[in-house]
Amino acid sequence: MLYQSTRVDEKRISSAEAIAFGLSKDGGLFVPEVFPNLPSETLNQLVSESYDRRAAYIMSLFLRDFTIDELYGYTELVYGASKSNGFYYDRIVPVYKLNDNTSFLELWHGPTCAFKDMALQIMPLLLSASLKKIGESREVCILVATSGDTGKAALEGFKDVPGTKIMVFYPQDGVSDVQKMQMTSQSGENVNVVAVEGNFDDAQSGVKSVFSDEALRDDLSERGYFLSSANSINWGRLVPQVVYYISAYCDLVKNGSIISGEKINFCVPTGNFGNILAGYYAERIGLPVNRLICASNRNDVLTQFINTGVYDKNRPFYTTVSPSMDILVSSNLERLLFELSGKDGKMVEAYMSKLSKSGYYAVPDSVHVELGRVFSSGYCSEEDTKKTIGDTFKKSGYLIDTHTAVAYKVLGDYRAATGDDTLSVVVSTASPFKFNEAVLAALGQPVEGSGVTMLENLSDVTGCAIPAPLVELKNTIPRFSDTVTIKDMKKAVTDFLYERLGH
Ligand SMILES: *Cc1c(COP(=O)(O)O)cnc(C)c1O
């Protein structure tokens, strides 16, 4: 099985090349040329397997130039039973049953307490192996623009991985106290963290312009470096995410909530469209899915798109209590458009160039109808996000974070509007402790001091334990304090690579 660009380049490449290159030369993203198939008997066999075994099998369907044993070597290391992995909970991705038709898929028991760990703990291993497979000898420097969670997860995944450097840019005022402290206190010899004056989209476009600077690329190459990305446009980020949709399904069969073959819904708090896209891929390879419900916060550009077929980013950008979803340009949507348009790369390229010129495109009815085949969507206001956290805790004693609350509210609205009572899984993307200021406020508690000192308040009020990786935060000292303007981002990269690391 080979990979192709979502745009006009007709070249076919291997999975290792797709992971190593990150982005296609024509600006497109890599997608599988054909989808593999997950037969229902195989799905049934996975029910009795551990998460690491499920992961190796499912990833092997997509990564055909890796053997299953090779992949199992990585998945066992990352998601296996040994306590040396970064996951602090013995069930890597527990499914929490709230009631008979609602469960929460908790994706935040990794080292940074957000779902990004699911992919970013293993992606550095896939990338290193891919670089070896294609004969690349230069060192890779990973550049990341983050809305908060990706940055920390990428730092944890890449820290001290031989042959790699990593540099993270975060929007100065766009992340929570806990997120900021997690990043600025990062350990490792090959890491750097810098704040950017601007919002996430500014930081992301700054990183993109560094990537597209050809003179810089040549200069770096002469010094033995090349740039790559850990953002969710890399295929190595998406494949590990397909696994947990299938794993959740297996767990629901195992605990008797559904019978094998029964369709379920997933409701996903969405930003860059990476998480829910992995759910779409799971459906495409054969997972019994009824609806994928895309939940947005106040930045509801995706909800508008799914409802109307019009993508329009010409609108105000809001900073919300669910900052990891504060995004107006959802990069991975391009991959979905490619599938929905019948793999019409010319059409995708036309939309993307319209988007960058005028901030707007409209898909034809045929594509919009295809979109509605599995996707539904809705958005949740700031007020409703907080109310949902408070109500859920009061009613059932289950504590959820701001992002998960957006999804849970949207699921409720979807059910009220459609009467669909299919068993639904809310994809829970972060520990509530990561966003404790907003969560405390939602519970009607006073919010004073920094988010880091308030971890204990939230634990006292709710009786929930602070996740192990956050316990130590209040005793750590920040290592990184630089802030740069967008136009100085390139200089920050060269300062890091040329001076501090002594090349
Ligand atoms: C990144 C993130 C999201 C959004 O996921 P996408 O793949 O970008 O759609 C939602 N919630 C949390 C907590 C996140 O970190």
Predicted confidence (pLDDT) per residue in 173-232, tens digit: 888 888 999 999 999 999 999 999 998 888 988 998 898 899 999 999 999 999 988 888
pLDDT at 84: 63
> 257 in ligand 1 pocket by Cβ < 6 Å?
no
C-alpha of residue 430 to centroid of ligand 1, in Å: 9
| pTM of the predicted protein model | 0.94
Name the residue of 237, 429, 431, 435 whose CB sits within 8 Å of the most ligand 1 atoms, as the mutation to test its pocket.
429
> 324 in ligand 1 pocket by Cβ < 6 Å?
yes
> 110 in ligand 1 pocket by Cβ < 6 Å?
no
> 320 in ligand 1 pocket by Cβ < 6 Å?
no
Residue of 319, 282, 314 whose CA lies nearest to 301: 314
> 114 in ligand 1 pocket by Cβ < 6 Å?
yes
**Buried b / exposed e across 14-30, counting CB within 10 Å, b at 16+?**
bbbbbbbbbbbeebbbb
- The two tokens of residue 3 are 């990979």
Q: At what angle do helices 333-340 and 274-285 cross, to 10 degrees?
A: 30
Q: How far apart are CA 33 and CA 18, in angstroms?
A: 12
pLDDT at 233: 86
Q: Which domains does the chain have, with CATH numbers?
A: 95-105+246-467 (3.40.50.1100)
pLDDT at 498: 87
Q: How far apart are CA 237 and CA 120, in angstroms?
A: 7
User: Tens digit of pLDDT for each residue in 112-163?
Assistant: 999 999 999 999 999 999 999 999 999 999 999 997 789 999 999 999 988 8
- The two tokens of residue 137 are 């000898």
From residue 191, alpha-carbon distances to 37, 54, 121, 345 in Å are 39, 32, 16, 37
Query: What atom in ligand 1 is closest to the CA of residue 327?
Result: 8
Name the residue of 113, 178, 275 whose CB sits within 8 Å of the most ligand 1 atoms, as the mutation to test its pocket.
275
Identify the segments of the chain with pLDDT beneath 50.
503
